[in-house]
Structure formats: C-alpha cells, structure tokens
Structure 1
Amino acid sequence: MRSAVLRRAGVIEIEESGIPSPGDGDALVEMRAVGLCGSDTAAFRGRHPFREPPVVLGHEGAGMVVEAAGGAIAPGTKVAVLPLVACRRCVRCETGLSHLCAHRRLPGAGLPGLLARFVVLPEQALVPLPGDLTYAEGALIEPAAVAWHTVGTAGVRHGTRLAVLGAGPIGHLTAAAARLHGAEDVLVTDVRPSSLALAARATGCRTLDARDGAVAGDGRGDAFDAVVVASGHPDCMDEALALCRPRGTVVVLPMFGKAVCAGLNPLVLKEIRVKGSSLYTPEDFRAAARAVAGRALDVRPLIADGPAPLAGAQEAFEALDRGSDAMKLLLDPAR
C-alpha cells in the first residue's frame, strides 16, 4: 500500500509497504479523504512539538472499514476517525478530561497518520457515518469538533453575542456552530476578504476586515459576551480584550509560534476570564458528527475541490505552506 511520509522537513515521499493487520479491538480502514491543517503545516516545516520525521501525517479523515477484528463495527461501514484515544485510567480521564489525558494517543504519536491507503485504528476511534455523506465531509468532522468544543468552552447559548477573530476553517466552523447553539450576534474578523465573504455567505454572521485597526474602531467595544481567538496573529489578544464585555470570556485556540505580548489592564479592569480550548471530548466529536451528518453544520462551503490523489501530497503541502487560497485541502490516499 502507499503512504505519504514526511521524510524530512519540507519533503514528502510516497512509499510502498505491506497492508497492516488489525489486532483485537482494532479495525482496518481504507482512507478516502484526509484534510490538511495548520498543525500539518508546522510538521511539514519541522516545527511540530511531537510529529517529527520520518512520520506519516494526517489526522482529519474518513474512510471505509475493510476488516474489524473486534466485531463492533461491520466491514463496509463509512466512518470518520476520532484521532484521539485516551487511556481511560488516569485521573484526567476519570474526571471527564479524557481529551487532556496525559497518556493519550494521537496520529504521529501512538496512532498511525491517516495519509496512507490503509490504517489500523482502535474501533473506539471510529464513528459511523450515513452513506449519503461524502468522505470529504466526513473528514471535516474533526475540525468541526474543535469548533464544537470551543463553543462549549466559551459558554455560547441562546442570545450570546460572540466575536471570532480569524476566518480560517476553525474560525468559520466556530461561527457556524455558535449559530446552532443560539448565538444572537456573531462577528467574524479577518484580513482576507475572500474568507470573510465565505463566512458571511455560509453562516450569516457579520464580518469585519481587521486591517488598519478596523476591529478597535468597530464601535462595539465591550459588546461581546465571548470572544474566540482563532488567529495566531500577535495583535489578536489585545483586540479580544478590547471587544470583550466586563466579566465576559476570551477563549484562545491557536498554538502560537512565539511568545505573545498583550496589554493586560482590560483583563483586570473588566474581570475578563481567559480560557484555553484544546481538541474535543468524545462527546463533542460525536455531537459534531451528528450535526455534520444532518448538515445542520454544513462543511461543504469549505470544500472547493474533491480530495486530490495521494501522489499530489508534496504539492498540496507546499501550497498549504505558501498560504493557499483554498479553505481546505484534502487528499484521497486510495487514489
């Protein structure tokens, strides 16, 4: 079988190997769509904290079960991959924080990367999908789950006023998920007009071009119950604290490449709560899967083209590294 291996920073090689065999409780899955994201870019550049060459990348995926040794899921079932397997024994798992498990396994760290035609995964990591959902949509359940968890962390409910700083895939999906949770007023900011136009068209949110200090001059200071930082730009923390109301919540999503400096006086003077949001719980993932499967959370606007053949992995990663105009790039390891 073929897999796309990050051989060294900036170099993806297509390699041939044997088809792995599932053990007890595992399933063999033929991957049909794998999304590429910012953390994949970090690994491609050689800057990821634990995905180090040589490694097969990819953690946003959907495919078809070929063989299931445990018998809990039938061959032929279309599935999304929940790429986080907790130990279920540590204190964090026992207190409902399995997504923060100190012994968790992730693709590239205990689980195989998904940019391979066949992968062996624990059956507990597979979420069945309806037959009419495309593989590309199934692959985007993973970033949708990140957004779903973020909305919960921000405490979004009916009537919430939310600002999302950054209109990339996660920012876009956060705005869409917030609408499903009853958010009344959703503002999305970015410096890319095309991303803002897509967010406005697909989610019905208000948008604002963040260039030239436009966010600070929006006239909505102190207006938002919650602000989600979905951009790694260093100025976003200052903007988030300026937009957040007294005793509101700022949720920080990205991993920053370097230390971020921000004026913290608004944090003190307005008693703002700042929270981090990391990954998702299994419940978040399954809730996002139901929303995507029913298209209440519609990920199709993010998919400009169908998954490209695996042979194009090097070109896809180079495009992602350059800052591709496409919202999501996907590969089909079976092609």
Structure 2
Amino acid sequence: MRSAVLKRAGGIEIEESGIPPFGEGEALVEMRAVGLCGSDTAAFRGCHPFREPPVVLGHEGAGRVAEAADGTIARGTKVAVLPLAFCGRCGHCERGLSHLCAYRRLPGAGLPGLLAQYVVLPRRALVPLPGALSYAQGALIEPAAVAWHTAGTAGVRFGSRLAVLGAGTIGHLTAAVARLHGAEDVLVTDVRPRALDLAARATGCRTLDARYGAVAGEGRAGAFDAVVVASGHQGCMDEALALCRPRGTVVVLPMFGETVRAGLNPLVLKEIRVKGSSLYTPGDFRAAAGAVARGALDVRPLITAEPAPLATAQDAFEELDRGSDVMKVLLDPAR
C-alpha cells in the first residue's frame, strides 16, 4: 500500500509498505478522501508542536471498510473517521471531557495518519455514513465537529449574535453551525474577498473585509454575545474584545505560531469571559456527522475540486504553504 510520509520539513515522499494487520475491535479502512488543514501545513513547515518527521499526516478523513475483525461493521460501509483516541479512565474522561484526555492520541501522535491507502482504526472511531454522501463530504465532518464544539463553547443558541474572525474552513463552518443553532446575527471577517463571498453565499452571514477600516468600528463594537477567534493574526484579540458585549464570551481556536499581544482593559471593564476551544467530544462529532448526513449542515460549498491522487501530496502542501486561496484541499489515498 502507499503512504504519504513527511520525511523532513518541506519534504513528502510516497512510500510502499505492506497492508497493516488488525485485531479484535479494529477495522481496516481504505481511505478515499483526506482533507489537509492548518495543523498539517504547520507540520509540513516544521513548526508543529508535536507532529515531527518522519510522520504520516492527515486527520480529516472518510473511506470504506475493507475488513473488520469481528464483523460488527460490514465490508464496504462508507465511514467518517473520528480521529481521537482517549483512555476513558483519567479524571478528564470521567468528567465527560474525553477530548482533553491526559493520554489522548491523535493521527501523527500515537495514531496512524490518514494519508495512507489503508489505515487500521478502532471500531468506535468509525461513523457510518449514508451511501449518497460523497467521501469528500465525509472528510469534512471532522472540521465540522470542531465548529460544532466551538459553537457550544461560545454558548450559541437561538437569537445569539456571533462574530467570527477568520473565514477559513473552521470559521466558515462555525458560522454555518451558528445559523443551524438559530443565531440571529452572524458576522464573519477576513482579508480574502473570495472566502468572504463564499461564507456570505453559503451561510447567509454578514461579512466584513478586514483590509479596510477598523473591524470593531465597522462591525458594531460591543454588539456581539460571543466572538470566535478563528485567525491568528496580530490584533485578533484586540478586535475580539472590542466586538464583544459586556459579559460576553471570546472563544479562541488557533494554535499561534507567535505571541499575540492585546490590551486587556476591555476584558476587565466589560467582564468578558475568554475561553479556549480544542477539538471536540465524540458527541460533538456524531452530532456534526448527523447534521451533514441529513443535509442540515451543508459542507459542499467548501469542496471546489474532487480529491486529488495521493502522489500529488507534495504539490498540494506546497500550494497551501504559499497561501493558496483554495478553501479545502483533499487527497484520495486510494488513487
């Protein structure tokens, strides 16, 4: 089988190896669509905090079951991959916070990366999908789960007013999930007109081009119940604190490559809560999968091309590293 292995910063090679063995409670999955995200790009650049070469990247994926050890899932079943393993015994897991498990494992950090033709996964990591759903849509359930958890962390509910700083995949999906949850007013900011146009057309949100004018001034300072920081640019926290209403919530998503400085007086004067949001719980993942499967959460606008062959992995990562305007790059490891 073939795998795309990050051998060194900036260098991916396609390697051949045998099909991995699997045991009780596991299944062999043929991967058919794997999305590349910002953390994958950070690893490609050599600046990810824990994914280091040599490593197989990729954690947003969907495929079909090739074999299952115990027959609990039928061969050929289309599945999305829940790429997070937890112990179930630590204090965090016992409190229902399995996504913060002290012993959690992720693809490229204790679990196999998904940029491989075949991957062995525990049965509980496989979420069956309707046959009509494409593999590309299935791969986007993982970032949709991140957005689902983020909206929950922000306390989005019917009638909420939400601002999202950053119209990348997660920012776009957070706006879409907020609309699904009944948010009354959603504002999305970015410096990329194409991303803003896509967000407006797909989610019905208001948009603001952050290249022009002050985001807080144009976006109605102090008007939002919650502000999601989905971009790590300098000034993001100042913008978020300005947009947030008194006793509102700022939710921070990105892993920052450098120190972000902010004036904290608004946080004190408005008694703003600042929260981090990391990954998702299994419940978040399954809720997002259900919403995508029944069409309530439409991820298709993010899919602008069919998944490309695995052999193009190097080119795909180089394109992302240059700052591609493509919203979501997908690879098909079976091709």
* TM-score when normalising by structure 1: 0.99
Question: Matched residue of 1:216: which SS?
Answer: helix
Tell me the residue number matched to 2:144. 144
Change (3 A) 1:323 1:219: closer
Q: Does the aligned pair in 2 maintain the 1:143–1:169 contact within 8 Å? A: yes
Question: Matched residue of 1:211: which SS?
Answer: coil
2:311 is the counterpart of 1:302: no
* TM-score when normalising by structure 2: 0.99
1:129 Cα deviation after fit: 0.3
Tell me the residue number matched to 2:30. 30
Distance 1:235 1:244 in 2: 14
1:70 Cα deviation after fit: 2.9
Question: Matched residue of 1:152: which SS?
Answer: helix
Q: Does the aligned pair in 2 maintain the 1:160–1:185 contact within 8 Å? A: yes
2:312 is the counterpart of 1:312: yes
2:52 is the counterpart of 1:70: no
Alignment of 1:39-118 (within 5 A): 39-118=39-118
Distance 1:102 1:295 in 2: 35
Distance 1:267 1:99 in 2: 27
Distance 1:196 1:159 in 2: 23
Tell me the residue number matched to 2:163. 163
- Cα distance per residue 1:166-187 (max 9 Å; x no partner): 0000000000000011100000
Tell me the residue number matched to 1:176. 176
Question: Matched residue of 1:34: which SS?
Answer: strand
Alignment of 1:219-230 (within 5 A): 220-230=220-230
1:258 Cα deviation after fit: 1.1
Distance 1:300 1:214 in 2: 32
Structure 1: which 5+ runs fail to align? none
How many residues are aligned here? 335
2:262 is the counterpart of 1:269: no
1:219 Cα deviation after fit: 5.7
The one-letter amino acid paired with 1:159 is G
Question: Matched residue of 1:63: which SS?
Answer: strand
Q: Does the aligned pair in 1 maintain the 2:187–2:219 contact within 8 Å? A: no
Question: Matched residue of 1:217: which SS?
Answer: helix
Q: Does the aligned pair in 2 maintain the 1:208–1:214 contact within 8 Å? A: no
Where in structure 1 do 4 or more consecutive aligned residues deviate above 4 Å? none
Distance 1:274 1:285 in 2: 23
2:323 is the counterpart of 1:323: yes
1:213 Cα deviation after fit: 3.2
Q: Percent identity?
A: 84
